[in-house]
Amino acid sequence: MKSFSTILKLALAVSVPVSASAATIPAPPPQVAPIPVSLLVDLGSGQVLEQKHPDTPFLPASVTKVMTAFVAFEEIGAGRLSMDRQFQERPETEKEWFAKGTNMYITTKDRPTTRDLLHGIMTASANDAAVVLGEGYAGSIQAWAAKMNDAARRLGMTRSHYNTPNGWMDEGNTYVTASDLVRLADAMITRYPDLYREFSGHKRWVWRDVHMRSHDPTVGVVPGADGIKTGYTREAGYNFLGTAERGGRRLVMVLAGSPLPKVRDDAAKALLEWGFAAWDTRHLFDQGQTIAQAKVQGGDARSLPLVANREVHATIPRGTQPGITLAVHYDGPIKAPIRKGEQVGELEIRVAGLAPGRVPLYAGRDVGPAGWLDRLLNGLINLFT
């Protein structure tokens, strides 16, 4: 199949001077320096604003639970898992996990719902909640881990592997990269926004008589911060997958391997504030706006509108006017049938002097298989063109 790449320059000639120079990257905040792994990405442009070892695998600790929550979101979204479904803990699970690390203190007498367990997982970082959900839904930890790894594969998390639903120490069999975690956060936020808002970004939560609190260092401190998950074990150090949204801009950040919680927390706050203060945006497309038309093969239409599931912009250092180039990439012609909302390509955003960013593009409408009349017309068009 031939790969098509369409270069777009629309709407940029007015806003970008011909003599625009390359951008100078602002220096990241000094608080990030002591942390081995760091990454800050603007989801509206896909551009990396700061990075240090973004593709080096590390132990995620409780950040693992983000994937457990995402798999549950997928099952809820598909109608296979009810929010009100009740779970019963196995006796052996209670014996192993009761009061082990952060906990909901679930017993075999309890009947927590999916909603209870997800609050426990995302807010309280409850180890027992993740195990009860995984075992109760999939039948075993191994089966749940298989679902986690399948989701990782579909999201393009090529350097990550899951062996546990909660991130408890497992001799290094669970590992992730910062780049992969940004993919996971992007999918969680954009595909399941209602579930994300319900379960992420809460500082406290109460179940029965158990009062639990989040260790998130940014929620309630950094304006716009709404999650996602901290993690800690002796082997992993102090980790954080965090995000904040202001004025339509969504930043996602990963910090890993911090030696102390204060170092991680200070870096998290400083990095997000720097991401908003040192960088500006140039609006390109509204959410749902047609960005390009892709060629279709064997369909009841010859072209397909490509749209983004978010507002799209170029991210530029504040006070600069660098040149911007756009390109749409897709493998085509795209074969019908195609469902609306199916990812079919990417928009590449190049800002002079900076690494390019990519934003996923989706089918703007359904395209069914060609009928006999469509095939006849397409044949005639191809014959004469």
What is the Cα–Cα distance from 48 to 50, expressed in whole angstroms? 6
Q: Which of 38, 125, 160, 258 is catalytic?
A: 125
Q: Which of 38, 45, 65, 200 is catalytic?
A: 65
**229 labelled binding-site residue:** yes
| Catalytic (active site) residue 21 | no
Q: Which residues pair with 312 in a beta bridge?
A: 285
| Catalytic (active site) residue 65 | yes
Q: Which of 45, 62, 160, 258 is catalytic?
A: 62
| Catalytic (active site) residue 62 | yes
| Residues of each annotated binding site for substrate | 229
| Residues of each annotated binding site | 229
* Residues annotated as part of the active site: 62, 65, 125
